Amino acid sequence: MSLLVTGGTKGIGLAIATRLATPGRKAFLNFHSDAAAAERAAEELAAAGSEPVLVREDVSTPGGCRRLLDTVAEQTDRLDQLVHCAVDPLSGPSLDLDPDRFAAAVSTNGSALLYLTQAASPLLTRGSTVFYLTSRGSRAALPHYAAVGAPKALGESLVRYLALELAPRGVRVNAVLAGPLPTDAFRAVFAEGADDRLRELNAANPSGRGLELKDVAETVAFLASPEAAMIQGQVITVDGGNSLR
């Protein structure tokens, strides 16, 4: 039993890894640059009894995704869950974005779902689940969010195509669209106004409170369960109703 979470050492990724990891189970946590946060995450999971394995790799390229999965394959012959949560929080007006940086962000935030799933395919067996974390910016044009939102739309489309191809093998692919959360990525994209924006959104939430990391993690856990066996190729929104307004 094992799982892999890209961007798994902080924020939503860590919350999901913590929820899915169980005693004796390998939890591969991919990260890009923050080694200190990765070590803290590994200590947290180890304290809960799971077997964290830190893998530092850049998933913005097909080669990086293959190297990541090669490392995973050296230690397990099956992935029960593959969760793509890594994000490149490139921010700015669309017309001002450097084209090369934008291309890298598109790869990390969207195309990498395909690269990761291709590389993981030999490890995915009946009952395995693949998850993609997306956001409202995939459907609405938010200020300074094109480098995240546009690739997220691509990722959601890939979820549907991958689901059709993997369903006959008993492998499910779904996306979880998470509402605003106090993550490093949210603060990087919305900069100085991030905390004010988050407070306003939380105050306006029809459910009477702001979204929490555990809300997203619990949704992923349900979708990974046998009870969700017939949920395939879908985008499940978790935001307490914020997007209804």
Residue 9 is predicted with a pLDDT of 97
Q: Catalytic pick from 26, 115, 132, 152?
A: 152
Least confident span in 86-90, 139-143, 150-154, 227-231: 139-143
Residue 185 is predicted with a pLDDT of 78
**Residue 145 located in a structural domain:** yes
**Residue 164 located in a structural domain:** yes
pTM, to two decimals = 0.94
Buried b / exposed e along 149-178 (16+ C-beta atoms within 10 A): bbbbebbbebbeebbeebeeeebbbbbbbb
Residue 182 is predicted with a pLDDT of 82
Q: Catalytic pick from 10, 132, 145, 214?
A: 145
Pair 38, 9: CB distance under 8 Å = yes
**Residue 129 located in a structural domain:** yes
**DSSP SS3 for 61:** coil
pLDDT band at 212 (very low <50, low <70, confident <90, very high): very high
We report the CATH number of the domain holding residue 53 as 3.40.50.720
Q: Is 145 a catalytic residue?
A: yes
Token pair listed for 229: 């066996």
pLDDT band at 213 (very low <50, low <70, confident <90, very high): very high
The pLDDT tens digits of the residues spanning 88-144 come to 999 999 999 999 999 999 999 999 999 999 999 999 999 999 999 999 999 999 889
**Residue 245 located in a structural domain:** no
Q: Is the pLDDT of residue 190 over 90?
A: no
Residue 74 is predicted with a pLDDT of 97
Q: Is the pLDDT of residue 191 over 80?
A: no
Residue 157 is predicted with a pLDDT of 98
Residue at token pair 């921010």: 91
Q: Nearest to residue 166, comparing CAs of 112, 116, 219?
A: 116
CA 141, 144, 149 angle in degrees (round to 5)? 50
pLDDT band at 241 (very low <50, low <70, confident <90, very high): very high
Q: Is 152 a catalytic residue?
A: yes
Residue 245 is predicted with a pLDDT of 78
**Residue 21 located in a structural domain:** yes
- Cβ contacts of residue 70 below 8 Å, gap of 6+? 119
pLDDT band at 193 (very low <50, low <70, confident <90, very high): confident
- Per the prediction, the chain carries an average pLDDT of 95
**Number of domains present in the structure of the chain:** 1
Pair 91, 145: CB distance under 8 Å = yes
**Residue 106 located in a structural domain:** yes
The pLDDT tens digits of the residues spanning 26-66 come to 999 999 999 999 999 999 999 989 999 999 999 999 999 99
**Residue 244 located in a structural domain:** no
Structural domain range at position 143: 2-239
**Residue 154 located in a structural domain:** yes
